[in-house]
Structures are given as C-alpha cells and as structure tokens.
Amino acid sequence: MPRRSAVIGTLNVLTGTLMMWGGAQEVQAYLGVETWAVGIGSLGFLAGMTFSASGIALLLAHPVARRLVTIGGLGSAAVHAVGVVTGLIGVAGLFLGVAYPLLAVIGARRLPPAAAPGDRTPADAARERTGEPGPRDHGTPRTAVV
C-alpha cells in the first residue's frame, strides 16, 4: 500500500470518528428540543460513519475506497457547511468537516491506480477478454462455451 493511501486512510478514520462523536453529541443535546438540529446531527453522524468507512477501505485497498471517500467527503462538507451557516458548528468544525474532507477527496482522486484497485487497468480488461484467471480469481470453476 502506498504511503499516501495509508496516510489518507488513517486520517479519514480519525476524522470520521470525530464527526460521528460530534453528530451524536448534537443529537443528544437537542433531542426533543430542536428537530432540525437533531436532523443535522444525524446526518453528520452518517457522514462521519461513511468517512470512517472510506478510511478503512483505503487501508484495506478495497475497490470502492475512492467512491467512499468521495461520498463521505462531499456529504460531510455539505452537512458541516449547513451547520456553520446555522450556527451549530464553529470554526474548528469548518476546518475538520469541510476543508479536510474536500482535500481528502482531491487526494484520493490523485492516488495511482495501484492504490485504488477499483480502477481497471488494461491488463484487467485483457484478462476478462481471454477468460484467464486473474489475481482475485479464487479458483472458481469455469464452464466451456461450445
């Protein structure tokens, strides 16, 4: 695993965990008082969970890692931007919830294909055309087409 992928993955897990903690606090503080604040806190928790999952996927070099970074990063930026505008989130939340996720999305998009196995290489396409087993083929039986 490339170093950049490991760094982004680790930071995503830590940042996503902080987002989940903040979202849970928001829900607990405003539960039964402000419905919209509970909704923003719930969405923040969900965005943090997705962002943490993207970090784990990056660390495991899972094929959907880059998509999860994009979904979690853009979702987090949207929820935190609304929170800043409404006054629920301060300047620290602006950097943690908007600036870093957008930088992580850009950083994940710049990872080489080896660090993002979801990207197909020309060798993958050739293997699919010829029917030869690839590195992720675990001996599944093949049937002959006559």
- Digit-by-digit pLDDT tens for the chain (146 residues) are 567 788 889 999 999 999 999 999 999 999 999 899 999 999 999 999 999 999 999 888 888 888 899 999 999 999 999 999 998 888 888 888 899 999 999 988 887 554 444 555 566 666 666 766 655 555 555 555 55
Per the structure, how many domains does the chain have?
1
The verdict on residue 146 lying in a domain is no
Would 141 be classed as within a structural domain? Answer: no
- Read off the pTM: 0.72
Asked if the structure places residue 64 within a domain, the reply is yes
Give Cα 123 to chain centroid, integer Å.
Answer: 27
pLDDT at position 132, please? 64
DSSP-based helix, strand, coil % in the chain, nearest 5? 75, 0, 25
Tell me, yes or no, whether 137 lies in a domain. Answer: no
Query: What pLDDT was estimated at residue 12?
Result: 93
Q: Provide the token pair at 4.
A: 């950049």
Which tokens hold the place of 69? 């970074």
Closest C-alpha among 115, 78, 114, 117 to residue 94: 78
Residue 62 forms part of a structural domain: yes
Position 71 in a domain = yes
Segments forming the whole domain that contains residue 25:
3-130
Q: Which two tokens stand for residue 45?
A: 């928790």
In-domain check, residue 142: no
